Structure 1
Amino acid sequence: MAVSSNIDTNVQIAITLEEGFRSAVPDYFELGSDDKLHHDPRKVNVFSHRSFSDKKNLFADSCGEVLRFETPQDFSAIKTRLLTNPIFLQVRLEREKSSGNAKYITHGSFIVFINTQNPSVNHQLKEKLDDMELLINQGQKVALEISFNRTLKEWFKGHFEESWAWFTSENSNFCITNYSQRYHDCYNPLIWAVCFPCCLLGAPCYCVHRKLNCVDLSVSVHARVRYTQGITEEDRSELIEMLSRAYSVGLSDGNNMVITEKAYATTPPPYDASDAPRTV
C-alpha cells in the first residue's frame, strides 16, 4: 500500500466511528468469513471488553479487557509489544442529559487507535510498565490498569455546548496482570450503601485481601485526539494512510519525532444515534 510522504506521524490518539473504520481497515487486519476482523496478536494490540456481545464485537482475536501473564519473560514480551505495536480499542461514548421527566441520550460506537510510537504516549506507557517490571522481578503480584477514559471523555464533551450533561466512556481501559483485575465497585462507598449489607461485609475484606496480595498500579494516558470521519473517499484514504504510516514507522523513528501543536478540525462526528427524548 502506498503511503503519502507528508502524512502526519505525530498523531497520538485517532478516533473514528465504527462504520468509518470498517470502510478503511488497515492491511494488518483481515476480514474473516465471520464478518469480523482478524489480526496477528504479535503485531497488533487489540482490546475489546466482554460487555460487547459477540455480534457487536468487531475484533475476533481481541485480548478482551485483561491481558494475563505468568513469568517475567512473558511480561517482557508483552511490554515490548505494547511499546512497539499500535493499540486498538472498541469503545462506546455517551452523553446523557435530563430535562424534567425526559432523558436525552447521544451515543456512538467508536474505534480508537493509540499510536505507541508517539514520544508522549510512549513515555507515559513505558514509565508505568518499567515500574511494573521492577515489581515483577521482585516476585510481586501486580495489576496495571491503562486507561484512556479521561482523554476520550474530554474530547467527546468538547463537541457539546450545554452547561451540564453526564458523559461516559465505556471500555476505554484494559488491565495487564499476573494476578487478577481489580474489582472497582468494592472501592466505592456508594456501592456499599446501595448493596448493604452484602457489600458492607464483603467489600472491606476484599480490599484488605487484595492489598496484601497484589500491587495495583494505574496510568491515565493524556493525549491529543484526532477525529477522522472516514465517510468520504478522501477521509478513508487519510485514515488508511495514517494507520499504515504509524504502524510501519518503527520505534526508532518514533523516538526521533518532533511533536508539533498542529490544530486539527474538530467537526462533531455524525453519531450513529438519535438525540430524541426518551421518557423516564
Structure 2
Amino acid sequence: MSTDYQTAREALGARLRELRTEAGLEGKGLADRIGCQPSKVSRLQNGKQTPTATDLTAWARACDRPDVEAELQGLRAGLEMKQRHRSWRRQLAGGHRGRQEIAVRQTEATKTIRGLEVSRVPGLFQTPEYARVIFDSNAEFRGIAPTTEAAVEARMRRQEALYDPSKSFRFLLCEAALYHRSCPAEVMAEQLDRLYNLVGRHRVEVGVLPFGTQLRRTAPHAFWIYDRRLVIVETISEELWLTGDEDLQLYERAWDWLAESAEYGAPARRLIGRARACLDLS
C-alpha cells in the first residue's frame, strides 16, 4: 500500500475519531448505534480499514452530524484517487525488483492479458539483455538504486506464464517499437528475433500497427488490460490502476479499434524482419 494512500486513510480515521469524541460517544456506544463491532470502529479510526460510503453515512448520523457526510464522502473520494495513482518515486524507492514482483503476481492471477506498447517491446516478450538495458536506463533517469539483476530475474520468471495453457496473451505494438532503440544493435537484433518467433505462437497473439496505416483512433499511450478487472496505464511520473466499469470499457474499445488495423501472422513477421534488416551490425 502506498504511503500517500495510508496517510490519507489515517487522516480520514482521525476525522472520524474527532466526530465521535465531539458527540460524547465511546467506541462501543458508536458501534451500537451503527450496528457493528467495536473492533471495526477502532480499525476505522486508526486507519487500519477503509470505510465504505455506507459506513460514513452511518457514522455521520450516529454522531448527529448529517451535515458532515458530504465532507466525509469527499475525503473517501480523495482516498480512492490516491489508490488509483501510484507514483514511480515511491514504487521504485528501493529499486525495480518490488514492482516486478507485483507484475509476477498480477500475471499469475490473470487468464487473458491484452496490451498496447507504443515505443518498446512488452516486458513479457523481452530478452534478458534488452530488459537489463531498460532497467539500467530507468534507474539512471530516476536516480534510484539499480537493482537490475533481481529485476531481470523477476521479469524472466514472469515470462513462464507464456507456457501456461490456461492463459492467453494478445498484444499490439506500434511499428515504431521495432525501431526505437535504447540498446546496442546486437541486443536489438536478438530482441527482434525473439519477437519474430513469437508471432503465430499458440495463445500468444502479436499484432503490429504499421507506419501509415489508417486508424479509427490513434494510439495515445501504452496500457495493459488484465482480464476484465484492471487496466494499468504507465506515465513518466506514475501508474494509473483503473478498475471502474467505465474505464475498463473505454480501454477495451480503444484496444479493439486499434486491433482492427494491426497486421498479424506473416505480414507482422515481414514488418519485424524489415526492422531487423535496418540494424547496422557491422
Query: Do the two structures share a fold, i.e. TM-score over 0.5?
Result: no
Q: Larger C-alpha radius of gyration, 1 or 2?
A: 2
Question: TM-score normalised to the size of structure 2?
Answer: 0.27
| Higher RCO (C-alpha under 8 Å, 6+ residues apart) | 1
* Larger strand share, 1 or 2: 1
* Larger helix share, 1 or 2: 2
